[in-house]
Each structure stands twice: as structure tokens, then as C-alpha cells.
Structure 1
Amino acid sequence: MWEFIGLLSMFAIVIFMFMAALSFFKKSGKVKKYLFYAAGCFVLLIAALSIDISDDKETASTKVASEVQNEGNAVKEEKTEEEKAVAEAEAKKKAEEEARKQEEAEAKRKAEEEAAKTPQQKMFEQIMGLIDAKQAFDSGSYIKGDLPPGEYAFISFDGSGKYYAEKDTAGNIIDNENFDSFGYVHVHDVGNIETGGVLISTGAFGTLGVSSAKEIYQVLNNVEDYKQSALYKVGTDIPAGQYVIESYGNGYVAKMSGPVGKSDIIDNENFNGRFMVNVTNGQYLQISNGTIAQ
């Protein structure tokens, strides 16, 4: 607007100066009037220029202020993003530290619980794992196909039964036994099986950290150096050699060629008192109502 007024004032000054010069030559007496008008337009021009310059300065100042503000906002925004990143990093670090502490606490708790377990509890848990893996079978009845053929340790424990039997599909007994404590059976997988104790594949002994049925029985029943009635595997439960068996009441001793279900009697004897027997590796020694004295 003021630029237009200034331009108009300049045009008016030129006109009035021209009119004043023309009046001077014509001597019409209007020179002063035109000069006065020209002077007024000049004042208006000066005013317009001053206001326009002021507006330009204000605009420039506003622009500079805006740029400064924008730069400030950019710096502030950049700082905010940086602070946000730092805060997120700190939060992540704190969360990771908290998770690590929880893991350590959980590991410590489990270690303490494991340390507090008795050998019996640990053995029960390991056997349950073997049952889940189909390498051991709890007391109960089974049909053909439930148990893979092979040799198993029969282990009785507090509250379990002691009877074992395998029958073919016609109901004929292949073999059966009333175990006093522990022993060994051979599963043919030809029919029905009934077991009062737990059956553990001899191939799974390493998983339990043992090498014999006797070791498993001792842990499950909290006994040490067991020498009572059982079906011992020579070279595994006891070393080969000569043994003296003492009876309590009427005792029975049998030297067997294999486990129940895959065995022949090599020698046997009913006795009351003391009986001496020699056994070699691979044989099985059955003792009922007696104990190994020496």
C-alpha cells in the first residue's frame, strides 16, 4: 500500500513541478501554489518511504525471529528425540537387569529346591521321566505292544506289589514270579503283562546314574548294602564268587541262567540254616527267606 502511495506521490511531484515551470513561463501567478502542492507530495513521499522501510525492517525482523524460533524448535526437537532415545535405552537396560535378576533368583530357587531333595525323591523323578519316555513302566496291566521286548529290572517299593506275570494271547502263563524286593524279567511281548512293581529297561540304567537293579532298589527304599532276598544278577548286583546264605526260617536258593521269563534252573536248594553257593558272571542268584552272610 505505502509503495503505491509513494509511487503516486512521485508522479504528483513531477506533475506539479511541471505545472509550476509552465506557470513561471506564462507568468500566471500559480507557481507558488504548484510548488506548495509539490512540497506536500514530497512530504507524503518521504512518509511513504519511511513507513515502507519500517515495514521491511519489521518483516525482516519477524523473518529472522521466525527463523531463530524454527532453529530453536529444531534444536529442541532434536534434543527431545535424543532424550527420548536415552530414556528408552535406560528403560531397556533396567528391564534387562530386572529380567536377569529374576532369572538368577529363579535359578537359585531351583538349585536350592534341588539341593533339598533327597536321593529317593530325585530317583522317583528320574523314573517318572523314563516312564514318560517309555523306557520304564509303572505297576499295572499291559497288553501286547505296550512294552518293547527285552530285559527289565523289577523294582518294588513301599506300597507297591511284588507279583509279575506274562501270559500269551491264549492265557497261558509264560512265566511269573513273586519278588521279595527286586529282580529281572524278560518281556516277550506276546500277550498280557501284570506287574506289581515298576519295570525299568536295563538299557536306561545309565540315565539314572546306576548300573544295577540293586542300586535303584536301595535308593527308592532308603536302604544301604542290601543283602536280603532278591533275584541278583551276578557281575552287576554282586560279583562272581562263593557266597554263604543264611536262612530265616525255610530258605530257598536257586542258581539261574537268565532273568524270569528266559531262564533255566542250573541248581536250587531248600534249606534251613546255612547254604554255600558258587556263581559266575551272567548267572542270576535267587534268594528267598535268606540273606547273604559272606
Structure 2
Amino acid sequence: MANADQREQMTNGAGFIAALDQSGGSTPKALALYGVDASDYNSEEEMFAEVQNMRARIILADDFTNAKVIAAILFERTLGESIDGKSVADYLWSEKNVVPFLKIDKGLENEANGVQLMKPIPGLAGTLAKATGVFGTKERSVINEANAEGIAAVVAQQFDVAREVVAAGMVPIVEPEVNIHSATKSEAEAILKAEILKNLDTLNEGQDIMLKLTIPNEANLYDALADHPRVMRVVALSGGYSTEQACDLLSQNGKMIASFSRALTEGLSKQMSDAEFNTALGSNIDKIYQASI
């Protein structure tokens, strides 16, 4: 449930959101980049144990505090894990002053009308009710081309889920990602902006959301969204850009802060000593923080 200190930090805090929500599908790739080969684990259990160790190592690092990281997005399975005897969500807020969010989507449908809608999210009300200590959620769909009908469907679905999250007392991060490789990326972004504005105007006072968007081709395109009274924050996804590129593009958008996953863990490896790991992570955190402020 959203508390007042967390709300203040999410609205006005300087820094960025760490995306630590690699799910079943993206975990093997994230682990491979971290120096853990598929041959190093023999079951899904062991794979998730490896990724939990990676997440815990990141969260425990000295630089992972609200001085630069204002929030972190967790994978649902992580809610049942613990760090130093506390649930991960509790540890984040009580020890690091980092606001916990939960990824709730169950992956993507096959492409239709140039977009990929979210798969149904069975048992969402139960998941939200059980997510103690969690401030909000994150749910992702993907836009591959500038198809007005497809983009309208993505935004409508996102806002339907957002209303359910708000009704449970939490703050949703609505994430309609525009594919960075789309040949019609600029056109898709213009349509997306208009659709989001239209849907924002249907929200009532108190139905506040956040937006997680691909860094737009046109700098500051999403300023009008950031200024909307129902929008707490607009955050940027790295979408496959390198840390360097993502930070460079983000720094041109004054009203967006980062919510990076791959860019945060770039260059980190299991084989590093703790000192090497903390230095490398600290450098990534600083780069992303500077681009966000």
C-alpha cells in the first residue's frame, strides 16, 4: 500500500528506478550476461536461486540507497525471498529507503495490429492483496509499429489494469514500450502520446499513475504527460540501448527519469570480487543517476 513518505519520494525524489524484475523468460539471458552459464544450473529452482543471489548482491551494495536509487521493481517470485531475514520488499524500504514495486504482467500476446498486448493476468486481485509493503506495480506491453488501432488497444488495456491497481490502493506504472528498432518509431510515439493523454483525462482525482516509456526520438515529447495532474512521474526504459546511449538520450529529456534493467547490470559479473562488483555497479548507478537529474 502506498504510504505518504514513499509517495513523496516517488513524486519528488532525485534519482532513478532500478528494474530488478527479470522474469522466467528473461532470466537466462540476464544470468548469461552476469557470467552464469545455462550449464551452471540444472533446474528452474536453481536458475531462480542464481538470479536472486544476483539481485541480493545488487541491493546489498553500498551505492544502492535512496541517495540515487529511489525505487526498485521486483519480479513476483522475489516477494517470497528474503535478505538478512527480512522480505525483499521490507528490506528495500526499511534498510535502503528504496520504494518497492512489483511486476505483475504475465508476458505478451502474439503481435496483432503492430502491437503485443499483455496476456491475461489471472488472480490479479489476490496478488495485489498479498503484496504487503509494495507501493505499486509495473505492467508492460509492446508497440512495434505506428498502427493507430493497435496503439489504442494497448493503452486501453493498460488503463483497465491501472484502475484495478489503483482500486487496491497502489500506484501502477503503465508501460507501453515502443520498440527502439521500429521503422515508424517517431510516428508511433506521436500516436501513443495522444492516446495516453486521452485516457489520462478519464481518471478521477486520486487515481494517480506513473508512465514508463521508451526514450522518444523527439526530445521532451512527453513533457505534457509529465505535467498532467494524474501523472506522478514519467520514467524511461532502456529498451536495448547500451548504458552509454540510454543515459545520453535520457539526459536530453528534462522530465523523465530512468528505470533501467540491462543498463544497470551492464558489465557486472558473478566472478568479480565484492570490491570490483561494488565499484562497477556504483559507476553504473552514478551514470544513470546523472542522466536522470
TM-score normalised by the chain length of structure 2: 0.22
Between 1 and 2, higher relative CO (CA 8 Å, sep ≥ 6) is seen in 2
TM-score w.r.t. length of structure 1: 0.22
Larger Rg: 1
